[in-house]
Amino acid sequence: MTTTATGVLGIDIGGSGIKGAPVDLQSGQLIGERVRIPTPAGAKPSEVAEVVRQLSAQLGGQGPVGVTFPGVVRGGRTLSAANVDKSWIGLDADRLFSEAAGRPVTLLNDADAAGLAEARYGAGRGVQGVIMLLTFGTGIGSALISGGQLVPNTELGHLELDGREVEPWASAGTREREELSWKQWGKRVTPYLQHLERLFSPDLFIIGGGVSKKADKWREYLEVSTPLQPAGLQNEAGIVGAALMAAERQDAADHTPAVGRRKSD
Average pLDDT, the chain: 91
Give CA 44 to chain center in angstroms. Answer: 19
Domain co-membership, 138 together with 228: yes
184 backbone dihedrals φ, ψ, rounded to 5°: -65, -40
pLDDT at 252: 80
- Rounded CA-CA distance 105/100 in Å is 9
**Residue closest to 84 by CA, chosen among 69, 98, 106:** 69
Q: Which helix (H) or strand (E) is 187 found in, with range?
A: helix 182-200
DSSP at 31: S
Q: What is the CA radius of gyration of the chain?
A: 18
User: Domain for residue 120, yes or no?
Assistant: no
Domain co-membership, 16 together with 91: yes
Domain co-membership, 101 together with 170: no
Give CA 239 to chain center in angstroms. Answer: 8
User: Domain for residue 117, yes or no?
Assistant: no
Query: How many CA atoms does the CB half-sphere of 188 hold within 13 Å?
Result: 21
Domains in the chain, number: 2
User: Domain for residue 138, yes or no?
Assistant: yes
User: Domain for residue 121, yes or no?
Assistant: no
User: Domain for residue 90, yes or no?
Assistant: yes
Domain co-membership, 154 together with 227: yes
Confidence band of 256 (pLDDT split at 50, 70, 90) = low
- For range 15-30, the mean pLDDT: 93
Q: Which helix (H) or strand (E) is 96 found in, with range?
A: helix 93-101
Domain co-membership, 23 together with 61: yes
Q: Are 242 and 113 in contact (CB under 8 A)?
A: yes
Domain co-membership, 38 together with 102: yes
Coil, strand, or helix at residue 24?
Answer: strand
pLDDT at 3: 44
Q: What is the pLDDT of residues 80-136, one digit of tens each?
A: 987 789 999 999 999 999 999 999 999 999 999 999 999 999 999 999 999 999 999
**Residue 185 clears pLDDT 90, i.e. is over it:** yes
User: Domain for residue 265, yes or no?
Assistant: no
pLDDT at 81: 86
DSSP at 39: P
Domain carrying residue 180: 127-232
Confidence band of 265 (pLDDT split at 50, 70, 90) = very low
Query: How many CA atoms does the CB half-sphere of 156 hold within 13 Å?
Result: 21
CB atoms near residue 265 (< 10 Å) = 8
Q: Which helix (H) or strand (E) is 94 found in, with range?
A: helix 93-101
Domain co-membership, 91 together with 132: no
Domain co-membership, 89 together with 16: yes
Domain co-membership, 46 together with 107: yes
Single pTM value for the model: 0.89
Domain co-membership, 79 together with 62: yes
Domain co-membership, 222 together with 144: yes
Give CA 88 to chain center in angstroms. Answer: 17
List 204's β-bridge partners, or say none. 131
User: Domain for residue 191, yes or no?
Assistant: yes
CATH at residue 148: 3.30.420.40
Q: Are 64 and 104 in contact (CB under 8 A)?
A: yes
Coil, strand, or helix at residue 176?
Answer: helix
Domain co-membership, 227 together with 241: no
The CA–CA distances, whole Å, from 59 to 20, 40, 183, 190, 255 equal: 8, 19, 42, 41, 27
User: Domain for residue 168, yes or no?
Assistant: yes
Query: How many CA atoms does the CB half-sphere of 41 hold within 13 Å?
Result: 0
